């Protein structure tokens, strides 16, 4: 189509550009609402692959065993002094509803399989290692979460993640 009048030309391009602009705005709003970018700024990382960047899918709440999960720390967890009650934490979901978790001074086991070693942080928490020894069953919707290092601050010390704390499934970025 040939448009010779400058005003007609502007209207023509506006009509062509408007649907594209609307699609970009709606698509961007959807992506911004659904996904979050997380950066692990800790010196000592406790997740596999030593990744620093993560994408959190806030719509994916159906977490399965071995998924990375983001959750909010809250007052039910004794996470101070390392994490505030508004801190977002990423760990591995090693226990899910129905699993039996056993913690002793040497290991934490889920259904008999070792998921963590030792209680290296007991002293920093000013507690004897024996204070964390227990056996519990993870109820439906709850998660037992761990890191991969001995000094990971995880469910061994503060218990399960409750369903209302779950922010979403996490994907590690390769950089």
**12 and 58 within one domain:** no
Query: Which run of H or of E encompasses 135?
Result: strand 134-137
Q: Are residues 30 and 45 in the same domain?
A: no
Q: Are residues 10 and 49 in the same domain?
A: no
Written as six digits, the tokens of 88 are: 């977002």
What pLDDT digit, counting tens, does each position of 100-140 carry? 999 999 999 999 999 999 999 999 989 999 999 999 999 99
Q: The domain spanning residue 145 has which CATH number?
A: 2.10.109.10
Question: Do both 72 and 90 map to the same domain?
Answer: yes
pLDDT in tens, 48-105: 888 899 999 999 999 999 999 999 988 777 776 677 777 899 999 999 999 999 999 9
CA 80 to chain centre: 18
Pair (15, 58) in one structural domain: no
C-beta separation of 87 from 74 below 8 A: no
User: What is the tens place of the pLDDT at every residue in 146-165?
Assistant: 999 999 999 999 999 999 99
Residue 139 domain boundaries: 40-172
Average confidence score pLDDT of the chain: 91
Let me know whether 8 and 55 are in one domain.
no
The secondary structure element, H or E, covering residue 11 is: helix 6-34
Report how many domains make up the chain. 2
Residues 29 and 45 placed together within one structural domain of the fold: no
**Distance spanning both ends of the chain, measured CA to CA:** 47
- Does 53 share its domain with 26? no
Q: Is the dihedral of CA 166, 155, 46, 141 positive or negative?
A: negative
Is residue 3 over pLDDT 60?
A: no
ω into 104 cis (within 30 of 0): no
Report the DSSP beta bridge partners of residue 36. 56
Q: Whole-model pTM?
A: 0.85
Give the Cα separation of 117 and 112 in Å (integer). 13
Is there a single domain that holds both residue 58 and residue 28? Answer: no
DSSP state of 156: H
CA dist 1 and 18 (Å) reads 18
88 and 117 in a common domain: yes
Residue 55 β-bridge partners: 37, 171
Residue 29 shares a structural domain with residue 112: no
User: Count of residues for the chain?
Assistant: 175
Are 47 and 98 part of one and the same domain? Answer: yes
């Amino acid at each position: 189509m040939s448009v010779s009048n400058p005003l007609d030309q502007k209207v023509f391009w506006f009509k062509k550009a408007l649907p594209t602009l609307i699609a970009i705005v709606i698509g961007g709003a959807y992506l911004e609402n659904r996904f979050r970018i997380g950066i692990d700024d800790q010196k000592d990382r406790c997740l596999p692959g030593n990744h620093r960047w993560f994408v959190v899918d806030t719509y994916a709440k159906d977490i399965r065993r071995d998924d990375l999960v983001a959750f909010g720390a809250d007052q039910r967890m004794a996470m101070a002094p390392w994490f505030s009650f508004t801190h977002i934490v990423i760990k591995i979901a090693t226990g899910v509803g129905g699993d039996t978790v056993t913690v002793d001074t040497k290991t934490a086991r889920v259904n008999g399989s070792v998921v963590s070693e030792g209680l290296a942080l007991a002293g920093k928490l000013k507690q004897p290692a024996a204070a964390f020894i227990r056996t519990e069953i993870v109820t439906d919707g709850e998660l037992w979460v761990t890191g991969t290092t001995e000094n990971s601050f995880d469910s061994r010390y503060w218990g399960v993640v409750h369903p209302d704390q779950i922010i979403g499934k996490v994907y590690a970025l390769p950089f």
